[in-house]
Amino acid sequence: MSTTESRERTINLGAGPSMLPTNVILEASKGFIDYEGSGIGVAELSHRSARFKTILSNAENDLRSLMNIPENYAVLFMQGGGTEQFSASLLNMLAAHAAKHGEGRTTAPPVDYVVSGTWSSKAVKEARRLTSRVNVVCDMTSMLGDPNAKIPSPDSWQLSSIDEYPAMLYYCDNETIHGFEFPQDFIKQLPPAYRERVPIVADCSSNILSRPIDVRAHGIIFFGAQKNVGPSGVTIAIVRRDLIVDPDAFKSPYVPPIPAMLVYKNMADNDSLYNTPPSFPIYVSGIVFRDLIAQGGITKSQERAEAKSELVYKILDAYPDVYKPTVAHQGFRSHMNITFRVLNCSTHEPSPEAESKLISFFSEHDIVEIKGHRSIGGIRISLYNVVTLKQAEKVASLLKQFAEST
């Protein structure tokens, strides 16, 4: 059996690093060996060379086209994953705040955080290491599995007063571990004066390019590549240019020294070439961007994401004695990461044994990487852009077969 036949047979539903399109892998493998007949592979190209600068420029232009990114936003190709951006986004927003509002100010401004699962909780933990006034405006984690708990709307969050000029509001658009995804229009529910004054920071690592996002409504959008974009190693930050400042140009008692690699201005001034970038992941990401444009862009991605996830959720809800979704509220369930527990048929309680049986059953049918995150257990089915409707149909069919045989 050839390598590509084996790839096509196996459905990898891992949460990241995740599956990449076979046609992208084939093109990238050629470039890895010999890029455009140069006799040099992409991973060997000098990042200062004209060839690599063209790769980088094309990737940025295609991403701008896909996401409708205005020119007053910089696109920065960085490293360190979303976790590093927990620090970078906060530190740069504190610096931007100090540049605009910090003259004579000795106390740190508040920074607002929405907690909706593991990754936003980690962002809060990192923020508390770096600044003194971290305000959790809403923690909905404990509400996700309770159908009787109402998820608080943004107009009821305990936001910091705009008179204190909060430095930012952070949220995680899609929680990969808990399977929670914000409705698309929730930002519009924030008070207009708050939206106008406070930079909004979105972590979109696990649902980027799966649905439209209003770039202009945000100060920063960041995401790691390893789910919907490309191989792990490159992290992209989209930053409004007026928020990019030189933290060394002034002194502020509430802005700690920022490591040079985390300073957005260093990256923006050097076209993401402040140091040697993750060149091959950027190259593959650029191929993915072109491939997505050829498939109809984000509009078509959203249509496919909704159709695929609906197939799976429909089966989960049809067998409540067998499956229990992690997120009880249908309007907040992720289209990318479907998380649930498998129940004991007698006690109707989550059963690790039953979940192991489901994992083995799926493996027998060449579907792998559905085990839930170690922190919460259960099952996680990740339906990123590369997963086809036909593959989602197979997943739904097997879930139905398993439920009916239990």
Q: What is the rounded distance in angstroms from the CA atom of residue 55 to the CA atom of residue 282? A: 8
Q: What is the rounded distance in angstroms from the CA atom of residue 63 to the CA atom of residue 292? A: 10
Is the Cβ–Cβ distance between 35 and 50 less than 8 Å? no
Is the Cβ–Cβ distance between 280 and 231 less than 8 Å? yes
Is the Cβ–Cβ distance between 55 and 286 less than 8 Å? yes
Structure tokens at 222: 């960041």
Structure tokens at 187: 């930002």
Say if residue 152 is preceded by a cis peptide, omega within 30 of 0.
no
| Residue 237 per-residue DSSP state | E
- For strand 220-224 and strand 200-203, is the pairing parallel, antiparallel, or unpaired? parallel
Q: Which residues contact 288 (CB under 8 A, 6 or more apart)?
A: 20, 21, 24, 229, 230
Is the Cβ–Cβ distance between 204 and 224 less than 8 Å? no
Catalytic residues: 119, 203, 227
Q: Is 14 exposed, middle or buried (0-12, 13-18, 19+ CB in 10 A)?
A: middle
Residue 54's H or E segment, with its range, is: helix 50-67
Q: What is the rounded distance in angstroms from the CA atom of residue 228 to the CA atom of residue 383? A: 10
Q: Which residues contact 254 (CB under 8 A, 6 or more apart)?
A: 94, 98, 102, 105, 106, 107, 108, 109, 131, 132
At what angle are helices 118-130 and 81-101 packed, to 10 degrees?
Answer: 50
| Residue 377 per-residue DSSP state | -
Q: What is the rounded distance in angstroms from the CA atom of residue 141 to the CA atom of residue 213? A: 23
